[in-house]
Structure 1
Amino acid sequence: MFLICIIIGIMAAFIGSLVGLGGGIILVPSLLFLYQFSDLFSWAEPQMIVGISLLTMVFTALSSTISYWKSGRVDYKTGIIFLFGSIPGSILGSWLNQFVDSDNFSLYFGFIMIFISMLLFIDRSKHVKASETSASSKNRRTFQIGEETYHYSISVPPALAISFGVGMLSGMFGIGGGAIMVPVMILLFGFPVHIAVATSMFMIFFISIFSSLTHIFLGHIPWSFILFFIIGAFIGGTLGAKVNQLLTGKVLKWILRIVLIGVGLRLIIDGFM
Structure 2
Amino acid sequence: MSINLPQLIELFMAALAISFITSQGGISGAYLLLPIQSCILNTVNPVISGTNLLYNLISIPLSIHEYFRERRIAASFTSILVIGASAGAVVGTWLRGHYLTGGYTFSYFMGAVLLALAAELILSSTLLIRRVRTYETVVRCSRDKTSLVITTNKSNTYRVNTILLVIITVLVGMASGAYGIGGASILSPILIGPMGLPAYIVSGPTLMVTLVVSLIGVLSYAYLGYPPDVINGLSMGLGGMIGIYLGTITQRRLPERHIKLTVAAATAAMGIYTILRVSRI
Q: Same fold (TM over 0.5)?
A: yes
TM-score (norm 1): 0.81
Q: Alpha carbons of 1:249 and 1:45: their partners in 2 closer, same or farther (altered >3 Å)?
A: closer
Give the match's secondary structure for 1:142: strand
Task: Quote the residue 1:232 is aligned against.
Answer: 239
Find the aligned partners of 1:91 and 1:12 in 2 and give their Cα distance.
Answer: 26
1:185 aligns with 2:191: yes
**Preserved contact between residue 61 and residue 205 of structure 1 (Cα < 8 Å):** yes
Task: Quote the residue 1:41 is aligned against.
Answer: none
Which ranges of 4 or more aligned residues in structure 1 deviate by more than 6 Å?
Answer: none
Find the aligned partners of 1:108 and 1:226 in 2 and give their Cα distance.
Answer: 24
Q: Deviations over 1:108-160 (max 9, x none)?
A: 4344224313421125968x9xxxxxx9596210122xxx4432111111111
Task: Quote the residue 2:257 is aligned against.
Answer: 250
Find the aligned partners of 1:118 and 1:9 in 2 and give their Cα distance.
Answer: 23
Among residues 33, 36, 41, which one is paired with 1:35 in the alignment?
A: 41
Find the aligned partners of 1:204 and 1:249 in 2 and give their Cα distance.
Answer: 21
Q: Alpha carbons of 1:256 and 1:198: their partners in 2 closer, same or farther (altered >3 Å)?
A: farther
Task: Quote the residue 1:65 is aligned against.
Answer: 64
Superposition RMSD on alpha carbons, in Å? 2.7
5+ long unaligned stretches in structure 1: 37-43, 129-134
5+ long unaligned stretches in structure 2: 134-142
Residues 16-31 of structure 1: matches in 2 within 5 Å?
Answer: 16-31=22-37
1:119 aligns with 2:123: yes
**Preserved contact between residue 108 and residue 275 of structure 2 (Cα < 8 Å):** no
Shift in Å at residue 59 of structure 1? 2.3
Task: Quote the residue 1:75 is aligned against.
Answer: 74
Find the aligned partners of 1:34 and 1:102 in 2 and give their Cα distance.
Answer: 16
1:105 aligns with 2:109: yes
Task: Quote the residue 1:131 is aligned against.
Answer: none
One-letter amino acid matched to 1:167: G
Find the aligned partners of 2:278 and 2:171 in 1 and give their Cα distance.
Answer: 21
Find the aligned partners of 2:81 and 2:198 in 1 and give their Cα distance.
Answer: 17
Q: How many residues align?
A: 256
Q: Alpha carbons of 1:219 and 1:242: their partners in 2 closer, same or farther (altered >3 Å)?
A: same
Shift in Å at residue 229 of structure 1? 2.5
Task: Quote the residue 1:155 is aligned against.
Answer: 161
1:3 aligns with 2:9: yes
Find the aligned partners of 1:125 and 1:14 in 2 and give their Cα distance.
Answer: 26
One-letter amino acid matched to 2:168: I
Find the aligned partners of 1:223 and 1:117 in 2 and give their Cα distance.
Answer: 31
Q: Alpha carbons of 1:170 and 1:14: their partners in 2 closer, same or farther (altered >3 Å)?
A: same
Task: Quote the residue 1:132 is aligned against.
Answer: none
Instruction: Name the % identity.
Output: 20
TM-score (norm 2): 0.79
Among residues 209, 221, 229, which one is paired with 2:215 in the alignment?
A: 209
Task: Quote the residue 1:88 is aligned against.
Answer: 87
1:140 aligns with 2:149: yes
Q: Deviations over 1:54-83 (max 9, x none)?
A: 111122221221112211222332121111
Q: Alpha carbons of 1:16 and 1:161: their partners in 2 closer, same or farther (altered >3 Å)?
A: same
**Preserved contact between residue 96 and residue 172 of structure 1 (Cα < 8 Å):** yes
Shift in Å at residue 251 of structure 1? 2.8
